A and B are shown apart, each in its own frame.
Chain A
Amino acid sequence: MNIFLHELKDNRKSTIIWTLSLVAVVVLFMALFPSIAKDSEAFKKVLENYPESLRKAIGMSLDSITSLLGFYSYVFTYVVLCGAIQAMNLGVSMLSKETREKTADFLLTKPVTRTQIVTAKLLAAVVSLILSNLVVIMAALVAAQAVSERSFDTKAFLLISLTAFFVECMFLALGILISVLVPKIKSVLPLSLGTVFGFFILNMFGSVIGDKAVRYLTPFKYYDPGYISKHQTYEIRFIVIEVIFIIVAVTASYFIYAKKDIHAV
């Protein structure tokens, strides 16, 4: 319990900074919504001069992307990007910081097992992520209600918002796994930034060219907002993939860390 509280305290500052930045991002982007809605109306007038088949094809997608939920899904991509970096940072630094800051021998000579240490730290990281997500979701909801003239589907909105947490959990697990596998991590950021942006670029690129296989490769694509707002639920197979991945990664981390050679000063 002491380790848990200490970790929470240790994460406090960075969690607050990340949360505030995420709130700022959401509010900034949602503030742009009214002008998008106006642009969309104007463009629909231009569309009237085009043949009907074309109008239907484009008009449909136009309606869905310029509705509040559609625009929020677009903005949300970037919120998830930032959230994933936050989670990956937490995951990678959680165990590796003890070695880096030369506190490993202090901690590991305490009468707690390594398993307990990992559990306490893991819980603290998850709690930090949950708190930060709660604040961001509330802010997003308030911002959305402020800019939207028509009412929107709150349930779908919340379901979409929740996916940030799911993606973050995956990156947290990945981060922990990497941190126990790599012998020595000098600095966390280049590692987590490289990984997260790698997946993110894959995601952005994949969605422009419409590649289906990419969906399984990058966590950013597991939860498609279009599907969620239509069916009010998540796609089961991606939940299954996520759960399996997290269980495997976390269990492996426990085992590896329990036997890992940790260098004292």
Chain B
Amino acid sequence: MNLFWREMKANRKSLIIWGIGLLFMVVAGMAKYEGYSSSGQSINELISQMPKSLQAIIGTGDLDLSTAIGFYGMLFYYLLLMAAIHALMLGANIIAKEERDKTAEFLMAKPISRTRIISSKLLAALVNVVIFNLVTLVLSLAMVSHYQQTGEQLDDIYLLMAGMFLVQLIFLAVGAVIAAVGKRPKRAAALGTVLLLLTYLLSIAVDLNEKIEWLQYVTPFKYFEAKRVLADGTLETTFVAITIVVVTILIAITYHFYQKRDLQI
């Protein structure tokens, strides 16, 4: 339990900074909605008939930017990216930092098993991710309801946040696995970043060409896209299932490898 609180405290500052970033992003982003002149029904309709690749280049996709929730959907892309970066860094650093800061000997000499160390650390990371998610949720609800026109549904925000949480879990687990399995803990965050950039760019490439649509299973950024979630009103079961399986496997690997890890001191 001490370890858990220690980790919570160690991550407090960065969580606060991220929270301020989120506040800025959501408040300033939604404030732009007021100034956003909707391009009118006919253009919206026209855009919706465009091939998907062209929609992607124009940048709006088939979100209806004239509604507050549609506009929020666009903002959600960037919130998702922020959440993924946060989760990945957290997952990788929370495990790798002991070796990086040369505190591994101190920690490992304590009378607790490695399994418990990992459990406490992952739990602390999970709580951080949940707080990140809740902050986003509260800010989003407040801002979208402030700007919404009457009769718009806000339930979709809960759904989007659920999707974001699942993506956060994936990246958290990916970060943890890289740090636990990789030989050089210092490279963990860097390697994770490469992976994150790769999947992010891949998600854009998938938008540009329908022939490589199967790649959407590889990149978590495509799992719970705002445009699809808002159109369907639900998270796709396939992707939820993939997330659960992937996260479980990654966490299991983390535990397994950290048990036998040769610490770099």
A contact set with B: CB distance below 8 Å: 21, 25, 28-29, 32, 35-36, 39-40, 42-43, 46-47, 50, 54, 58, 62, 65-66, 71, 74, 78, 82, 85, 186-187, 189-190, 193-194, 197-198, 201, 204-205, 207-209, 211
Contacts and interface: CB of A to CB of B under 8 A. Distances in A.
A48 to B, nearest CB: 12
A71 B54 CA distance: 10
28 contacts: A21-B197, A29-B201, A29-B208, A35-B53, A43-B49, A50-B46, A54-B42, A58-B46, A62-B54, A65-B57, A65-B58, A71-B57, A85-B193, A190-B14, A193-B85, A193-B89, A194-B17, A197-B81, A197-B85, A198-B21, A201-B78, A204-B59, A205-B32, A205-B74, A205-B78, A208-B60, A211-B32, A211-B35
B95 interface: no
B201 A25 contact: yes
A189 B193 contact: yes
Nearest to A81: B197
Interface of B: 14, 17, 21, 25, 29, 32, 35-36, 42-43, 46, 49-51, 53-54, 57-60, 74-75, 78, 81-82, 85, 89, 93, 97, 100-101, 189-190, 193-194, 197, 201, 204-205, 208-209, 211
Given A35-B53, A39-B53, A197-B81, A187 B100 contact: yes
B194 A209 contact: no
Contacts of A187: 93, 97, 100, 189
B188 to A, nearest CB: 10
Given A54-B42, A62-B54, A21 B194 contact: yes
Closest 7 CB pairs of A and B: A39-B51, A201-B78, A208-B59, A189-B189, A32-B208, A190-B89, A32-B209
Given A35-B211, A189-B193, A197-B81, A74 B32 contact: no
A58 B43 contact: yes
Contacts of A42: 51
Contact of B82 (A82, A197, A211): A197
Which interface residue of A43, A58, A85, A208 has the most chain B CB atoms within 10 A?
Answer: A208
A193 B85 CA distance: 8
A244 to B, nearest CB: 25
B219 to A, nearest CB: 13
A60 B32 CA distance: 26
B51 A43 contact: yes
A29 to B, nearest CB: 7
B85 A29 contact: no
A40 B54 contact: yes
Contacts of B101: 186
B7 to A, nearest CB: 15
B184 to A, nearest CB: 12
A190 B189 contact: yes
Contacts of B46: 47, 50, 54, 58
Given A208-B74, A209-B36, A74 B54 contact: no
Contacts of A204: 59, 78
Contacts of B81: 197, 201
A66 B14 CA distance: 41
Given A189-B89, A193-B193, A201-B82, A36 B54 contact: yes
